[in-house]
């Protein structure tokens, strides 16, 4: 192909046109973000995937494996309200809101009989609905979706056991406890423990220690209160 | 502790959660959160906040951050909290920082010290909390600070700590592979850990290591196979069972590892055959997790050097997936099929109907996956059908990411397998029309090149037919509104270059169209530039051919407008146009040769025509040119940097001072003899070759740098009309070397009519198969999969590809699979009603009797479909069965309840009540009462808040 002058009259245009289409795409993105989200405020930041890619492009050494297995965990209610978020890959606050907006738009509108997977910006999001709550996990293209579906269920079963027939309200008011439990199940975006018993044991050990600390604190403050009376 | 009820937070915080829960819109929610932020900002900086209060503030910060607002003002307090001695507070602190901070945050450095301390703690819970933070927060720079301690923790007596230590090393590996490489033996040791949890965790770092270099770990194949065998034989403790499947997550990870190890290695693969076969036989296809394992087995089989028997088992499993009613399984089946056809392409054939069903499925995810499969199995016999389908799909979706992906796949397939030029042009038109601006600009330039060069055959008539049909199709399209800019550029270029070439259309007609295009897209400078250059070509061809012509009035006005344009590029084009028009025919023919876009340009890289000039200058005492790399001054400055850097620096800002020109002693005359070849040393020959379009500019910049050492390349590019006048010395002889290229002979008129016939014939023949396809899936199947079968369809689809549409239509109807297909097509059901839609819960509620327990009602509402499947009236109490696959219902429930017992014995509180359904309802009612007490009104917005997630 060398030595040809197809672009005899277009050479300089090429460079310009590429920059131009970029800006046009930005404008489109802006439009999209207006159209998509239910409560959208448009913003023209670059897409998450591009960001992530850029991050990896610079240090190509760990491009292939730096990516976590599970990128994030989202719990969204049927109304699109966020109940829990955990990000294993780096996302800025702005990107996070955008991700949530896009995904809730996609997932909440899906019919009941469809598959539990959604493709999204080159990733896959596996979701499952429990009562009015959607549990979503974002994974890579080549991961095993059914496995993730079961990890979600594993998480829910452990929550169920911890809270005793867990319901959405438990998670609303005790989100920090849900975080502790999630930290025992997933770590660095991987399933660290597949035994419910072990997780339960660890969480309750922490809880009992916390209880003990509380009692201690109470008794000390009681003593102080008594002494200062 | 102003706690209320069982939730353990202050009234204030509960109110916050409540009010956000009741917010009707995002803006209302934002308002509440912003108010909360204001308040926290004030309070959190007050002196002497009690620790417990501070803990609650931190949790409120977490809440704010979770809702998508910025809580960075409080990060530092979370960091401080990790320093606290009390585990309770420390844990909260760690939780908050892991949620707040990314690994590159500045505050991390303040935590590292605490982490180091905590890793040494006697209390294993403190160590666990610290390790959790390590996994998330320690970055490449801080790994050395903690890695030693983490490695030591691999020998910790508590298995929970060992496991987390392994996971921490796994996360180190992901951040900086070199930091963990020396620990391979430790990992191998941990693989034999007593605790299955630790063993399972060790698989993650090992998987990472194996991904990088498979060959180092071939000796581990036996161990992995053994472990997998033991796991599958239920040797692990019962607590690792998941829905009666022994440690499925560990099995899946092991299968992933085996897939890596067996890839392309017959010997290793053979060791795995038995265990994989066993697992596939044993796997429980009724449960989700069983299918997950099955799918992983198929992935493994498609990756390793499989035996025919395993392939057969895999094909059977895929068949089961595809026949399933579950969309999830169909999806997995399509995916697995895509993996397996790489090794045995003939499998696809038996599943053709299932695949086509998936293609027409209402589920977009499944559809997309199926297109991916089709993309993988495209060949020249089925490319037309597949690409047509893909384009239809591409038009139907809005998601830019997937539109782009589908478009580029269409382009790729069309370029690779196009059966005819005409089809190719038509396909590209469609793709460009609908996704032109999403595509890589390169694609547009490729298309132009293809039209200019033809398909590489030495058949001039075919090439000119291609061009004529391109021009014709573009003339039809160009008036359409809202064409993407990239497509318009292609159209303008082609019309300029070939619009009048076949003589079918007059110059004024073409130029009228071009003017219209420029006018219709008056805010797109690039399109205007293309259009004006195309106009210039059209008129110069006319003039060169000696024909009379008049400049169209709209063209005249366009020129006037552009001459006053703000864009200097457009301005210059307009002026050049006018200048070219003023030249005589002979000159124009030299400047604008007809159809010369593909001609080779001879480039005199050594600029030998300047030799005499240089020689003369040297004789008059000018400084000789020293190639850049020989210039000592430059070297002394940039010798720290490597050559690479230097090359880039020529295009960017330089921060070093320019070297002082060294007074070089004039070299004697002998030197000048060899000199001319060195004049333009072409420091980066690759640059010259790659940047083809700017080729004509390169000599100028080189000449410039030879003379003045000014870097002109950037400037030239910007103003880059090929008619460079700055190198005055290069004169016409130079420009001629670029421009004087031989015309392709003008096409005789007979060709035109022929091409026209063939194009209309082509388009009609193309349409027919398409219509058929939408009518009957079976024909689609034949055209999609026909290539794989050795039967008669093959010939037919081949014929179709060749353009004999009318004939193939007839023969396809007689396809042998038709009768089989009939039933399948009729069974297509309307999409099921949206059972789970709770849009108007009140309406649904009112229809059922009020005597029934409200919670059961809710459950019924939620899971009508599943209840329907189970079809037992006593189903209400069966908590788990509502979720799980029907066959394993009873067992699931019992295991869960049993395990629940364990938990309960540890926490002997109200939870004993949750052993049976009745009490669990009571539990829920308790919660309800509690929440009502707090003022949350369940009926107001979301009654589901109170329904058990698993119910």
Query: Which is more confidently placed, A35 or B125?
Result: B125
B912 touching A (Cβ < 8 Å): no
The lowest-confidence range among A74-88, B344-358, B692-706 is: B692-706
Contact of B272 with B262, CB cutoff 8 Å: yes
- What average pLDDT does the structure give for chain B? 72
Subunit contact A209:B87, Cβ cutoff 8 A = yes
Q: What pLDDT, on the 0 to 100 scale, is given for residue B881?
A: 39
Q: How far is CA A101 from CA A79, A93, A108, B247, B484, in A?
A: 12, 12, 11, 36, 28
Asked if pLDDT for residue B744 goes beyond 70, the answer is no
Distance from CA of A98 to the nearest CA of B (A): 9
**Whether the predicted pLDDT of A168 surpasses 70:** yes
Least Cα distance to A77 among B21, B844, B859 occurs for B21
The whole-number pLDDT of residue B352 equals 81
Residue B943, pLDDT above cutoff 70 = no
pLDDT at residue B841 in the model: 40
B596 pLDDT band, cuts 50/70/90, is low
- Whether the pLDDT of residue A134 is over 90: the answer is yes
Mean pLDDT, all residues of chain A: 71
Q: Would you state the pLDDT for residue B942?
A: 62
Mapped onto helix, strand or coil, the DSSP state of residue B304 is strand
Give the closest residue to A29 by CA, choosing from A46, A48, A49, A51. A46
pLDDT at A206: 82
Split at pLDDT 50, 70, 90, the class of A139 is very high
The three-state DSSP-derived secondary structure of chain A is CCCECCCCCCHHHHHHHHHHHHHHHHHHHHHHHHHHCCCCCCCCCCCHHHHHHHHHHHCHHHCCCCCCCEEEEEEEECCCCEEEEEECCCCCHHHHHHHHHHHHHHHCCCCCCCCCEEEECCEEEEEEEECCEEEEEEECCCCCHHHHHHHHHHHHHHHHHHHCCCEHHHHHHCHHHHHHHHHHHEECCEECCCCHHHHHHHHHHHHHHHHHHHHHHHHHHHHHHHHHC
Task: Give the pLDDT mean for A80-101.
Answer: 89
Residue of A nearest to B831 (CA): A113
Average the pLDDT over each of B274-288, B470-484, B801-815 and give the range with the smallest value. Answer: B801-815
**Are B363 and A156 an interchain contact pair (Cβ–Cβ within 8 Å)?**
no
Q: pLDDT-derived band of residue B777, with 50, 70 and 90 as boundaries? A: low
Tell whether the model's pLDDT for residue B141 goes beyond 70.
Answer: yes
Statement: residue B564 has pLDDT above 60? yes
First to last CA, chain A: 95
Q: For the residues B690-709, what does the mean pLDDT come to?
A: 42
Task: Give just the sign of the alpha carbon dihedral B261, B264, B267, B270.
Answer: positive
In this predicted model, which residue has the larger pLDDT, B668 or A200? A200
Contacts with A53 (C-beta within 8 Å, 6 or more apart), sequence order? none
Q: Do A39 and B526 touch (CB under 8 A)?
A: no
The answer to whether B485 contacts chain A (CB < 8 Å) is: yes
B283 vs A contacts (CB less than 8 Å): none
Q: Where are the domains of chain A?
A: 17-65, 70-204
Residue A51 and residue A61 in contact, taking contact as beta carbons nearer than 8 Å: no
Which residues in chain B have their CB less than 8 angstroms from residue A214's CB? Answer: 1, 88
Q: Report residue A110: phi and psi, to 5°.
A: -75, 145
Average pLDDT over residues B436-449: 80
Count other C-beta atoms under 10 Å from residue B355's C-beta.
Answer: 24
pLDDT given at position A138 = 93
* Percent of all residues in chain B with a pLDDT value above 90, rounded to a whole number: 10
Q: What is the pLDDT of residue B237?
A: 86
Give chain B positions within 8 Å (CB) of A93: 65, 68-70
pLDDT at B575: 87
Asked if B207 has any chain A CB less than 8 Å from its own CB, the reply is: no
Give the pLDDT confidence score for residue B787 in this predicted structure: 46
Residue-level pLDDT at B9: 65
| The pLDDT value given to residue A191 | 86
Q: Which residue of A has its CA nearest to B295?
A: A144
Q: Is the pLDDT of residue B653 over 80?
A: no
* CATH number belonging to domain A70-204: 3.30.450.60
At residue B116, the pLDDT reads: 92
Find the mean pLDDT for residues A190-199. 84
Determine the pLDDT at residue B2.
Answer: 35
Phi and psi at A138, nearest 5°, equal -105, 130
Cα–Cα distance, B723 to B743 (Å, whole number): 20
What is the mean predicted confidence (pLDDT) over B743-750? 41
β-strand partners of A137 = A73, A126
Residue (of B94, B88, B141, B143) closest to B114 by Cα position:
B94
- B830: alpha, beta or left? (left if phi > 0; alpha if psi -120 to 50): beta
Find the residue in A nearest to B740 (Cα). A5
Average pLDDT over residues B640-651: 45
Q: Are B831 and A111 within 8 A, CB to CB?
A: yes
Question: Which of A43, A138, A144, A174 to mutate against chain B (most B CBs within 10 Å)?
Answer: A144
Contact B526 A5 (CB under 8 A): no
**Residue A85's pLDDT band (cuts 50, 70, 90):** very high
A84 and B66 within 8 Å at the Cβ level: the answer is yes
Q: Quick check: B342 pLDDT over 70?
A: yes
pTM of the model: 0.66
Average pLDDT on A44-65 reads 35
CA dist., res. B865 & res. A5, Å (int): 65
pLDDT at residue A63 greater than cutoff 50: no
pLDDT at A43 over 90: no
* Mean pLDDT, rounded, for B17-41: 87
Instruction: Please judge whether A188 and B171 are an interchain contact, meaning their C-beta atoms are less than 8 angstroms apart.
Output: yes
Q: What is the pLDDT of residue A6?
A: 35
Instruction: Round to whole Å and give the CA distance between A148 and B824.
Output: 32
Residue B239: its chain A contacts at CB < 8 A?
Answer: 195-198
| Min Cα–Cα distance to chain B from A7, Å | 5
B365 touches chain A (CB under 8 A): yes
The verdict on a CB contact (< 8 Å) between A11 and B598 is no
Residue B855: CA count within 13 A, CB half-sphere: 24
Tell me the percentage of chain A whose pLDDT exceeds 70.
Answer: 63
What would the DSSP string read from start to end of B732-766? HHHHHHHH--PPPPPPPHHHHHHHHHHHHHHHHHH
DSSP assignments along B513-552, one per residue? HHHHHHHHTTT-HHHHHHHHHHHHHHHHHHHHTT------
In the stretch 813-872 of chain B, residues with CB closer than 8 A to chain A read 831-832, 834-838, 862, 865
Q: What is the pLDDT of residue B437?
A: 78
Q: Does the beta carbon of B357 lie under 8 angstroms from any beta carbon of chain A?
A: no
pLDDT at B702 over 60: no
Statement: residue B933 has pLDDT above 50: yes
Output the CA–CA distances (angstroms, integers) from residue A128 to A69, A73, A153, B149, B425, in the order listed.
18, 12, 8, 39, 44
Mean pLDDT of A57-83: 67
3-class secondary-structure state, position B578: helix
Question: Residues 77-96, chain B: which have Cβ within 8 Å of A?
Answer: 86-88, 91-92, 95
The CA distance from A22 to A37, in Å, is 23
* Residues forming beta bridges with residue A74, ordered by sequence position: A85, A136
The pLDDT, as a whole number, for residue B95 is: 92
| Minimum-distance CB partner of B947 among A8, A167, A173 | A167
pLDDT band, very low/low/confident/very high, at A86 (cuts 50, 70, 90): very high
Residue B169 with chain A: CB contacts under 8 Å: none
pLDDT(A22) > 70: no
Phi, psi of A128 (to 5 degrees): -145, 140
Is the model more confident about B887 or about B498? B498
Predicted local distance difference test score (pLDDT) of residue A228: 66
CB < 8 Å from A in window 764-803 of B: none
Q: Which residue has the higher pLDDT, B609 or B221?
A: B221
Band (pLDDT 50/70/90 cuts) for residue B632 is: low
Residues of chain A contacting residue B402, judged by C-beta atoms under 8 Å apart: 119
Q: Rounded distance, CA B837 to CA B221, Å?
A: 50
The C-alpha atoms of residue B462 and residue B454 are separated, in whole angstroms, by 8
Q: In terms of C-beta density within 10 A (0-12 exposed, 13-18 middle, 19 or more buried), how is residue B508 classed? A: middle
Note whether B447 contacts A: Cβ–Cβ < 8 A: no
Separation in Å, CA A40 to CA A118, B262, B504 = 21, 48, 53
Interatomic CA distance for residues B937 and B932, integer angstroms? 6
Residue with tokens 């909260």: B92
Q: How far is CA A153 from the centre of its chain?
A: 16
Residue B663: the pLDDT is 60
**Top-confidence residue, B701 or B778:** B778
Query: Would you tell me the crossing angle of helices B421-435 and B441-453 to the nearest 10 degrees?
Result: 160
pLDDT in tens, B354-400: 888 888 888 888 888 888 888 888 888 888 888 888 888 888 888 88
Task: Name which of B844, B842, B823, B824 is nearest B833 in CA terms.
Answer: B844
| A146–B291 CB contact, under 8 Å | yes
Q: How far apart are CA B328 and CA A146, in angstroms?
A: 8
């Amino acid at each position: 192909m060398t030595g040809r002058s197809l672009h005899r009259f277009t050479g300089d245009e090429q460079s310009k046109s590429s920059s131009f289409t970029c800006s046009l795409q930005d404008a489109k993105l802006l439009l999209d973000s207006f159209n998509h989200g239910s409560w959208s405020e448009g913003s023209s930041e670059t897409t998450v995937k591009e960001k992530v890619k850029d991050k990896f492009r610079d240090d190509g050494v760990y491009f292939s494996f730096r990516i976590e297995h599970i990128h994030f965990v989202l719990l969204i209610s049927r109304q699109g309200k966020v109940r829990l978020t955990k990000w294993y890959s780096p996302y800025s606050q702005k990107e996070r809101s955008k991700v949530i907006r896009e995904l809730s738009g996609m997932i909440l509108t899906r019919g009941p009989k469809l598959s539990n997977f959604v493709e999204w910006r080159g990733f896959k999001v596996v979701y499952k609905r429990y009562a009015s709550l959607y549990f979503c996990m974002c994974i890579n293209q080549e991961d095993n979706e059914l496995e993730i579906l079961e990890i979600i269920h594993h998480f829910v079963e452990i929550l169920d056991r911890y809270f005793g027939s867990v319901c959405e309200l438990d998670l609303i008011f005790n989100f920090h406890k849900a975080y502790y439990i999630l930290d025992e199940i997933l770590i660095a975006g991987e399933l660290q423990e597949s035994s419910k018993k072990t997780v339960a044991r660890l969480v309750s050990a922490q809880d009992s220690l916390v209880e003990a600390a509380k009692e201690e604190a109470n008794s000390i403050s009681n003593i102080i209160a008594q002494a200062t009376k | 502790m102003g706690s209320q009820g069982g939730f353990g937070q202050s009234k204030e915080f509960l109110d916050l959660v409540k009010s956000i829960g009741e917010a009707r819109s995002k803006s209302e929610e934002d308002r509440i959160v912003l108010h909360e932020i204001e308040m926290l900002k004030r309070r959190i900086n007050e002196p002497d906040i009690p620790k417990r209060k501070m803990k609650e503030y931190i949790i409120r910060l977490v809440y704010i951050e979770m809702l998508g607002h910025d809580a960075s003002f409080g990060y530092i307090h979370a960091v401080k909290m990790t320093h606290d001695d009390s585990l309770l507070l420390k844990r909260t602190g760690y939780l908050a920082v892991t949620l707040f901070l990314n690994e590159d945050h500045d505050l991390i450095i303040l935590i590292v010290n605490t982490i180091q301390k905590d890793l040494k703690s006697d209390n294993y819970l403190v160590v666990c909390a610290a390790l959790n933070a390590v996994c998330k927060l320690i970055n490449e720079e801080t790994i050395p600070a903690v890695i030693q301690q983490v490695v030591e923790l691999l020998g910790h007596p508590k298995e929970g700590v060992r496991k987390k230590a392994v996971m921490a090393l796994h996360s180190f590996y992901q951040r900086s592979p070199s930091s963990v490489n020396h620990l391979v033996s430790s990992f191998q040791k941990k693989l034999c850990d007593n605790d299955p949890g630790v063993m399972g965790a060790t698989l993650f770092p090992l998987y990472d290591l194996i991904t990088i270099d498979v060959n180092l770990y071939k000796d581990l194949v036996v161990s992995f196979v053994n472990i997998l065998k033991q796991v599958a034989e239920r040797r692990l403790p019962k607590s690792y069972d998941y829905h009666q499947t022994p440690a499925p997550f560990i099995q899946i990870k092991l299968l992933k590892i085996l897939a890596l190890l067996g890839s392309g290695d017959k010997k290793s693969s053979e060791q795995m055959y038995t265990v994989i076969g066993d697992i596939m036989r044993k796997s429980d296809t009724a449960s989700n997790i069983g299918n997950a394992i099955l799918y992983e087995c198929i992935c493994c089989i498609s990756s390793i050097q499989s035996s025919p028997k395993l392939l057969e088992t895999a094909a059977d499993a895929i068949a089961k997936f595809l026949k399933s009613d579950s969309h999830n399984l169909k999806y997995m089946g399509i995916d697995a099929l895509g993996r397996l056809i790489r090794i045995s392409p003939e499998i696809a054939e038996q599943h053709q109907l299932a695949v086509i069903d998936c293609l027409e499925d209402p589920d977009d995810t499944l559809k997309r996956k199926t297109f991916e499969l089709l993309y993988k199995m495209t060949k020249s016999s089925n490319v037309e059908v597949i690409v047509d389908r893909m384009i239809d799909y591409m038009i139907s979706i809005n998601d830019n990411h997937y539109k782009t992906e589908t478009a580029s796949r269409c382009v790729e397939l069309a370029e690779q397998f196009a059966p005819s030029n005409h089809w190719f042009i038509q396909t590209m038109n469609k793709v460009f029309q609908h996704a032109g601006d999403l595509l890589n600009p390169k694609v547009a330039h490729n298309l132009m090149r293809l039209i200019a060069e033809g398909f590489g055959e030495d058949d001039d008539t075919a090439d000119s037919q291609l061009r004529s049909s391109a021009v014709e199709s573009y003339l039809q399209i160009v008036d359409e509104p809202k064409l993407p800019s990239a497509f318009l550029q292609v159209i303008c270029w082609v019309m300029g270059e070939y619009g009048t070439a076949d003589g079918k259309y007059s110059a004024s007609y073409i130029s009228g169209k071009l003017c219209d295009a420029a006018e219709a897209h008056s805010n797109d400078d690039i399109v205007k530039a293309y259009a004006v250059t195309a106009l210039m070509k059209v008129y110069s061809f006319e003039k060169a051919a000696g024909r009379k012509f008049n400049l169209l009035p709209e063209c005249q006005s366009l020129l006037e407008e552009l001459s006053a344009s703000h864009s200097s590029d457009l301005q210059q084009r307009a002026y050049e146009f006018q200048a070219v028009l003023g030249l005589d025919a002979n000159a124009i023919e030299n400047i604008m040769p007809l159809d010369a876009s593909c001609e080779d340009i001879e480039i005199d890289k050594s600029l030998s025509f300047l030799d005499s000039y240089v020689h003369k200058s040297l004789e008059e005492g000018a400084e000789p040119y020293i190639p850049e790399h020989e210039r000592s001054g430059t070297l002394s400055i940039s010798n720290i940097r490597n050559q690479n850097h230097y090359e880039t620096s020529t295009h960017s800002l330089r921060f070093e001072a320019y070297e002082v020109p060294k007074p070089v002693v004039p070299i004697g005359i002998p030197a000048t003899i060899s000199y001319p070849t060195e004049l333009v040393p072409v420091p980066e020959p690759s640059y010259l070759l790659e940047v083809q379009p700017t080729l004509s500019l390169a000599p100028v910049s080189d000449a410039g740098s030879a003379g003045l050492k000014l870097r002109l390349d950037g400037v030239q590019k910007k103003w880059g009309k090929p008619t460079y006048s700055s190198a005055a010395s290069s004169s016409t002889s130079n420009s001629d070397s670029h421009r004087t290229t031989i015309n392709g002979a003008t096409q005789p008129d007979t060709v035109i009519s022929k091409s026209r016939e063939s194009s209309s014939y082509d388009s009609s023949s193309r349409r027919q198969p398409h219509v058929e396809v939408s009518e009957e899936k079976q024909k689609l199947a034949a055209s999609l999969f026909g290539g794989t079968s050795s039967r008669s369809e093959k010939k037919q689809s081949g014929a179709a590809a060749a353009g004999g549409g009318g004939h193939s239509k007839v023969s396809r109807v007689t396809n042998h699979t038709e009768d089989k297909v009939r039933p399948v097509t009729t069974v297509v059901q309307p999409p099921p009603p949206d059972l789970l839609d709770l849009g108007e819960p009140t309406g649904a509620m009112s229809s059922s009797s009020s005597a029934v327990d409200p919670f059961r009602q809710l459950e019924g509402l939620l899971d009508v479909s599943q209840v329907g499947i189970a079809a037992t009236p006593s189903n209400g109490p069966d908590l788990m069965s509502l979720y799980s696959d029907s066959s394993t219902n009873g067992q699931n429930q019992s295991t869960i309840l049993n395990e629940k017992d364990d938990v309960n014995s540890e926490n002997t509180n109200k939870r004993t009540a949750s052993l049976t359904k009745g009490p669990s309802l009571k539990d829920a009612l308790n919660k309800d009462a509690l929440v009502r007490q707090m003022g949350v009104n369940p009926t107001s917005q979301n009654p589901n808040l109170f329904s058990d997630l698993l119910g």
